Structure 1
Amino acid sequence: MEKNATYTSLVALGDSFTEGMSDLQPDGSYRGWADLLAARLAARTPGFRYANLAVRGKLIGQILDEQVDAAAAMRADVVTLVGGLNDTLRPKYDPGLVLGKLEESVERLAPACGRLVLMHSPVRRGPVTERFKSRWESLFTFIDELAARHNAVVVDLYGARVLGEQRMWDADRLHLTADGHRRVAEAVWQALGLEPADDWRAELAPALPTGWLMRRTGDARFARQHLGPWIGRRLTGRSSGDGRPPKRPELLPYEPLPGDAGVRHERA
């Protein structure tokens, strides 16, 4: 891939990970890695355009039905597609169906953009990891196969030890912190052949030990505030993204946001 290539447009597809949860801004909105990446690309390319079609809670079939054709029609220089992990968490996960939807998404997007970026999603290390590990790794192996067939770029976030650190995840244990999103933006930036700003895989400083009571209190708070509502939505067939529009549905010039003040501005 050409080093320090010029990119004039970016379209991001996916679920809550690409929407930017839980990189919360003072106004109550979410920023996230895709916005951070867009800000950096816009700083080096006048007139840079950006769309983010991601909606929290979406399954890969919904991404295919609701986002893929719209993204393909935009003919962007860069398209990022991250989906399928939500599907693997469902009790009735059908790998054949999910991988088929993912393959169809890639087949439609790859010819319609300059560079398609796929990812091995990051996951938080903990008890859940072992339960779903085989599903995740099968999904990521298939993503590698798709990338090889369609000349796409794969960003391996799953393989980065630091992104599995519990401190990289918000209190809901489902979404990255602001630092996690910053590292993902840097990872995609480098995958696009752009000059590194820092080492996104760098390990965190050693954590202070936490006591048994503090851990149990945190577990109880998580169950009450996040796990319970999540299970309730699953049982009733609802999603956190029901009725929610895409984050940034049109491919328009990127205007700096208040949170961009701390974003590194690289020179072309």
Structure 2
Amino acid sequence: MKSYTSYVAIGDSFTEGLNDPGENGRFRGWADRVAERLATLEPEFRYANLAVRGKLLDQIVEHQVPQAIALKPDLVSFCAGGNDLIRPGSDPDRMAKTLARAVRDLRGTGADVVLFTGVDPRDTPLMRQVRGRFAVFFLHIRSIADLYGCHVVDQWSMQSIRDWRAWSEDRLHMNAEGHRLVAAKVCEVLGVPSTDDWRHAWPPRERVDRRAKLREDRLWLREHLLPWVGRRLRGTSSGDALDPKRPHLEPYT
């Protein structure tokens, strides 16, 4: 098992930790959970999380990647592209070239890099229409990881997080249980001991009444989908006025 003394997480809402409640009104998330494990193994461990919700791949590469390089960590996690892929006209081939350049620069510092494929979107009505676009980009991610010697966390194959009980009400972000499962997978990929197992078997669900399901769908449409579409039309993001929650490498307790 390799020991890490410093870890920087970069990305969007997934890495920021939405919707896994933490302390002081902030989100926790899988990256914080991984940092907790790493901190128990290395007394000098330090952690930074530069991720901000709503950010596109180009924005992350332009702003967060240089910051991560300047911090000179042992380990970097890099998950981005989901916000791009659900936008009309996104090009996974062009995105892959941008990602590859950023990964090359990160690996050039000597840091270990963790990349992620996303969850198979076939169960999400909003995103299954562009499932092929997701699949192409995730294949590129695997190729980039092979080329530059990166770790890969393959969420596409994680059946445990395809269950809706791992997701929050907005159907776009995982809840605390989903983040816990992803953190367990990341630890396994890194060879870090963890008390959790990402191969979680959910108990059978009770049959959902069709009328209740329609009411739930209408509520989701009004409270989550329409506001999201409105931000896209206005060219704004939920993270426009937000700063990273942990911009500096600091001890994690």
For normalisation by structure 2, the TM-score amounts to: 0.95
Contact 1:73-1:112 within 8 A present in 2 as well:
no
For 2:116, which of 116, 119, 124 is the aligned residue? 119
**Separation (CA, whole Å) in 2 of partners of 1:89 and 1:230:** 11
1:13 aligns with 2:10: yes
- The answer as to 2:123 corresponding to 1:90 is no
Instruction: Give the C-alpha shift of residue 26 in structure 1.
Output: 5.7
Offset from partner CA, 1:69-90 (integer Å, 9 cap, x none):
1101222111000001111000
Taking the TM superposition and a 5 Å limit, the aligned residue runs for 1:183-222 are 183-222=181-220
**Structure 1 unaligned regions, length at least 5:** 257-268
Structure 1 residue runs of 4+, over 3 Å off? none
- Indicate if the aligned counterparts of 1:123 and 1:129 stay in contact, CA closer than 8 A: no
**1:49 aligns to 2:52 (yes or no):** no
How far does the alpha carbon of each residue in 1:221-248 deviate from its partner, in whole angstroms, 9 at most, with x for none? 1111110100000001001110211121
Structure 1 stretch 105-114 or stretch 179-188: which is displaced more?
A: 105-114
Q: Please state how far the C-alpha of 1:196 moved relative to its aligned partner.
A: 4.3
Contact 2:49/2:247, CA 8 A, preserved across alignment: yes
1:200 is displaced (CA, Å) by: 0.5
User: What amino acid sits opposite 1:110 in the alignment?
Assistant: R
TM-superposed CA distance for 1:123, in Å, is 4.6
RMSD (Å) for aligned C-alpha atoms: 1.4
Q: Does the CA-based 8 Å contact 1:20-1:32 persist in structure 2?
A: yes
* Contact residue 15 and residue 57 of structure 1 kept, 8 A: yes
Task: Answer yes or no: is 1:152 the counterpart of 2:154.
Answer: no
Residue 106 (structure 1) aligned to one of 103, 108, 122: 103
Conserved? CA contact 2:120–2:131, under 8 Å: no
Letter of the 1:41 counterpart:
L
Q: Is the 8 A contact 1:9 1:77 kept in 2?
A: yes
Residue 27 of structure 1 and its aligned partner are, at CA, apart by: 3.3
Deviations 1:157-215 (Å, cap 9, x if unpaired)?
A: 11111211122110000000101101111111111112342320222111111101211
Q: Is residue 20–residue 175 contact of structure 2 (8 Å, CA) maintained in 1?
A: yes
Identity %: 42
Q: Name the SS of the counterpart of 1:6 in structure 2.
A: coil
How many aligned positions are there?
Answer: 252
Aligned equivalents of 1:57, 1:113: Cα separation in 2: 29
Q: In structure 1, what is the Cα distance between the partners aligned to 2:169 and 2:132? A: 25
Query: Residue 80 of structure 2 aligns to which amino acid in structure 1?
Result: G
> Who is 2:175 aligned against?
177
Q: Give 1:228's aligned residue.
A: 226
State TM-score, norm by structure 1. Answer: 0.90
Deviations 1:35-90 (A, max 9, x none): 01111111121121000000000110000001001101222111000001111000
Letter of the 2:69 partner, please give it: A
**2:239 maps to which residue?**
241
Deviation for aligned residue 1:113:
3.9
Question: Unaligned stretches of 5+ in structure 2?
Answer: none
Secondary structure, aligned partner of 1:127: coil
